Chain A
């Protein structure tokens, strides 16, 4: 653990911190329907798109109307993406001449991109045409991110509004988020990426003749544009099979740092949007602090685990100075790889610059843990914010029980209905992850997909279902995931993890919006101080621990304890 590693972490931390207020303020304007500094540029597009949607659809919606609109939008996106993949052989911009994607794989991939998971059961450069990558996958990178951010806006309005039965309009929110936040930031970032070496071309590949005279075919494509939005929108689906470990997706340590910044920036800034919209910026900073504490803690453990190298290799005469380099790139090394791994799983991104499957047991444990904590520190764009606000609601309930007071958050009384819905949302995730993992662990057809035996094999299964349910998309990628069993069950897990979770959460938002907003009294529990930050942190860790500790013990923890024995599998 070198001083350079710490500086690298500090650099990304400062970049993210510097954006919280300006970007948070900008998104508050977007959610409020106000003009932003981009209105002169994107205003005509916004008016045009909304006119296309039709004026009657644009009025304020109830939480249920909003949710149904969201589901309709995502269903249409799913159908389009499924169709594009199946028909890509007949569509233009297919220089490699790929045929249609197989039905189950196309189902899995469409679900994956619509739910903001971006799990890749396919190898991008060997399966998807340029047209599918652009008009299918890139589009859902924008739309699934915009959907998440729109839902976060509803959750915030639930707290900000008083006695309201309307929570905003889905079509307006989604369009404005895409035009005022995602598209312009992706455009600028993509150009920076090209300048730093990421290709953006319609060529499929070039053939090179090496110095030794052998032929090398190098896959190319419109990479930079997809790379930018896959990170800003916490999507994570790579253009290439190796994702952001591929030198064309992530050519230098500088692009690596920018990528980590990009995947954290919007989610952290949304805490400030939240603070502004509820009229007390300190509330946003408290949530932001919880996120930073857990993320930072996991980062230190993962980096420490990777920096020390693999003792089994050291015993053979491998110098441990460079750390555990299996599945890592020389230009990144252990610090940058650990930082990417925790950032990508603390959000719902799931892109990788190193192979998590080859991390040391505790190094790979941290990404798995962050996914299972619900991807709320800071989480996916939008989904992280509403996820942690659900935990904040649970926290004030627990605190209320301890002191015998009616729980309140931001002047809203938290009552039986909100608690039931919050528990329902919380239970869907472990039920899906553990249920599918348990069944898969008993099925020979599922076990045949494992790349590693022993506890690591169980971790591969757990990670797959956690990643799908959490809409993360990273993998212990040794798992051969393009089989009928995994294509279907992981697709279902993604669906439950996204829509099974957000429907109860939207119901909470609607229920909160309808309540009158009281004013804080001397008896109210302050939710902007260190005590609250500590309580929310504890609730996140205890909830996650209670749900998953037995599974962790059989996977990464026992694997770690086996290292000194020298046993291999």
Chain B
């Protein structure tokens, strides 16, 4: 075994310098020069203030904004470290609910959300993404159907016409990547930024 000691230490050390220090630092340097926006997290700024990242969903609650999906992220309860509290879209961490398909907690939660959404919108069926938590808890998108479902509420809250908001949703709906990859979606932050820029009717 002793004859393997020198090569083992030499190569673990040498390759650590190469793949653990040189590789990530070289990448960081190149990325900062060539692709600064993406390398820095695709941040959106208004008047120099960061309002979020285009790629990360936010916890929007006001009736006058488009809402994202439910988020399963929890955080340590500041009052009692042995407990956790809901922390939707807390982007300092990430997680899904990990509830199984026959979980009583999942089905009860979904039932509550479906009933509330049906009562609010009068719809017979709600889009699945509106009542399910995403894998990351930070999903930046909603389905076009879920965005449309929210139009009536926002129109009432802002005194805008539903048609204008429908048109806004249609404008901000992004198709599949390259025309066939993934699913159509609407980025909630981009949609809300466009909403904020919309003048009165």
Chain A contacts to B: CB under 8 angstroms? 4, 7-8, 11, 45, 48-49, 52-54, 56-57, 68-69, 72-73, 75-77, 80, 123, 125-126, 134-136, 138-139, 142-143, 171, 174-175, 178, 183, 186-187, 190-191, 194-203, 205-212, 214, 216-220, 222, 224-226, 229, 240-242, 245-248, 251-254, 256-257, 309-310, 312-313, 316-333, 336, 352-355, 357-361, 451-454, 456, 459, 476-478, 559, 562-563, 567-569
Contact B19 A195 (CB under 8 A): no
Query: In the bound complex, what is the Cα–Cα distance between A313 and B111 (angstroms)?
Result: 8
**Complex A-B: 14 CB contacts under 8 Å:** A54-B6, A57-B4, A125-B94, A138-B24, A200-B31, A203-B40, A208-B53, A211-B60, A317-B124, A324-B128, A331-B141, A332-B183, A358-B98, A453-B104
Residue of A nearest to B21 (CB): A135
* Residues of B111-144 whose CB lies within 8 A of A: 111, 114, 118, 124-129, 131-143
Query: In the bound complex, what is the Cα–Cα distance between A451 and B53 (angstroms)?
Result: 31
Q: Is B79 positioned at the interface, with any CB of A under 8 Å from its CB?
A: no
Contact B24 A353 (CB under 8 A): no
Contact A318 B100 (CB under 8 A): no
Chain B residues with CB below 8 A from A214, complex form = 59
Contact A357 B99 (CB under 8 A): yes
Min CB gap A244→B, angstroms: 9
Chain A residues with CB below 8 A from B111, complex form = 316
Contacts A254-B177, A331-B141 given; indicate if A242 touches B11 (C-beta within 8 A).
no
**Which of B85-93, B154-162, B163-171 lies at the interface?**
B85-93
Contact B39 A199 (CB under 8 A): yes
Chain A residues with CB below 8 A from B99, complex form = 326-327, 357-358, 451-452, 478
Residue of B nearest to A478 (CB): B98
Q: Which residue of B56, B101, B143 contacts A326 across the interface (Cβ within 8 Å)? A: B101
Contact A253 B182 (CB under 8 A): yes
Contact A319 B142 (CB under 8 A): no
Min CB gap B186→A, angstroms: 9
Q: Which residue of B27, B106, B137, B183 contacts A253 across the interface (Cβ within 8 Å)? A: B183
Contacts A200-B28, A322-B128, A326-B132 given; indicate if A72 touches B101 (C-beta within 8 A).
no
Chain A residues with CB below 8 A from B142, complex form = 330
Chain A residues with CB below 8 A from B13, complex form = 52
Chain B residues with CB below 8 A from A219, complex form = 91-94
Contacts A135-B20, A139-B16, A208-B52 given; indicate if A327 touches B134 (C-beta within 8 A).
yes
* Residues of B1-44 whose CB lies within 8 A of A: 1, 3-16, 18-21, 23-24, 26-28, 30-32, 34-35, 38-43
Query: In the bound complex, what is the Cα–Cα distance between A322 and B140 (angstroms)?
Result: 17
Contact B15 A359 (CB under 8 A): no
Q: Which residue of A142, A217, A245 contacts B134 across the interface (Cβ within 8 Å)? A: A245
Chain B contacts to A: CB under 8 angstroms? 1, 3-16, 18-21, 23-24, 26-28, 30-32, 34-35, 38-43, 49-53, 55-62, 65, 69, 89-104, 106-107, 110-111, 114, 118, 124-129, 131-143, 145, 176-178, 180-183, 185, 189, 192-193, 196
Query: In the bound complex, what is the Cα–Cα distance between A199 and B55 (angstroms)?
Result: 10
Query: In the bound complex, what is the Cα–Cα distance between A252 and B177 (angstroms)?
Result: 8
Chain A residues with CB below 8 A from B14, complex form = 48-49, 52
Min CB gap A482→B, angstroms: 13
Contact A201 B28 (CB under 8 A): yes
Chain B residues with CB below 8 A from A199, complex form = 38-42
Contact A211 B193 (CB under 8 A): yes
Query: In the bound complex, what is the Cα–Cα distance between A218 and B92 (angstroms)?
Result: 5
Contacts A241-B95, A333-B183 given; indicate if A360 touches B101 (C-beta within 8 A).
yes
Chain B residues with CB below 8 A from A211, complex form = 51-52, 58, 60, 65, 189, 192-193, 196
Contact B11 A171 (CB under 8 A): yes
Chain A residues with CB below 8 A from B91, complex form = 216-219
Query: In the bound complex, what is the Cα–Cα distance between A220 and B42 (angstroms)?
Result: 11
Contacts A211-B60, A328-B134 given; indicate if A318 touches B128 (C-beta within 8 A).
yes
Chain B residues with CB below 8 A from A361, complex form = 101-102
Chain B residues with CB below 8 A from A212, complex form = 60-62, 65
Query: In the bound complex, what is the Cα–Cα distance between A256 and B185 (angstroms)?
Result: 15
Contact A242 B138 (CB under 8 A): yes
Min CB gap A531→B, angstroms: 36
Query: In the bound complex, what is the Cα–Cα distance between A70 and B122 (angstroms)?
Result: 65
Contact B126 A318 (CB under 8 A): yes
Contact B58 A332 (CB under 8 A): no
Min CB gap B191→A, angstroms: 11
Query: In the bound complex, what is the Cα–Cα distance between A567 and B189 (angstroms)?
Result: 38
Min CB gap B148→A, angstroms: 12
Contact B42 A68 (CB under 8 A): no
Chain B residues with CB below 8 A from A201, complex form = 28, 31-32, 39-41
Contact A330 B141 (CB under 8 A): yes
Q: Which residue of B15, B50, B61, B145 contacts A319 across the interface (Cβ within 8 Å)? A: B145
Contact A49 B15 (CB under 8 A): yes
Contact B43 A569 (CB under 8 A): no
Contact A225 B102 (CB under 8 A): no
Given contact pairs A253-B181, A357-B99, a sample of 14 additional A-B residue pairs in the complex whose CB atoms are under 8 Å apart: A49-B11, A73-B8, A195-B38, A197-B42, A199-B42, A209-B50, A209-B51, A216-B58, A254-B182, A318-B126, A318-B131, A327-B133, A355-B97, A569-B103
Contacts A77-B12, A318-B125, A330-B139 given; indicate if A72 touches B1 (C-beta within 8 A).
yes
Contacts A72-B5, A134-B24 given; indicate if A11 touches B41 (C-beta within 8 A).
no
Q: Which residue of A171, A208, A478 contacts B50 across the interface (Cβ within 8 Å)? A: A208
Chain B residues with CB below 8 A from A186, complex form = 23
Query: In the bound complex, what is the Cα–Cα distance between A197 and B28 (angstroms)?
Result: 14
Please indicate which of the listed interface residues A199, A209, A321 has the most CB atoms of chain B within 10 Å of its own CB: A199
Residue of B nearest to A250 (CB): B136
Please indicate which of the listed interface residues A135, A212, A257, A352 has the most CB atoms of chain B within 10 Å of its own CB: A212
Contact B56 A218 (CB under 8 A): yes
Contact A242 B137 (CB under 8 A): yes
Chain B residues with CB below 8 A from A125, complex form = 92-94
Query: In the bound complex, what is the Cα–Cα distance between A69 and B61 (angstroms)?
Result: 58
Chain B residues with CB below 8 A from A48, complex form = 14
Contacts A8-B181, A206-B41, A211-B65 given; indicate if A143 touches B12 (C-beta within 8 A).
yes
Contact B118 A317 (CB under 8 A): yes
Min CB gap A464→B, angstroms: 12
Contact A139 B41 (CB under 8 A): no
Q: Which residue of B11, B89, B92, B182 contacts A336 across the interface (Cβ within 8 Å)? A: B182
Min CB gap A14→B, angstroms: 12
Query: In the bound complex, what is the Cα–Cα distance between A516 and B142 (angstroms)?
Result: 63
Chain B residues with CB below 8 A from A252, complex form = 177, 181-182
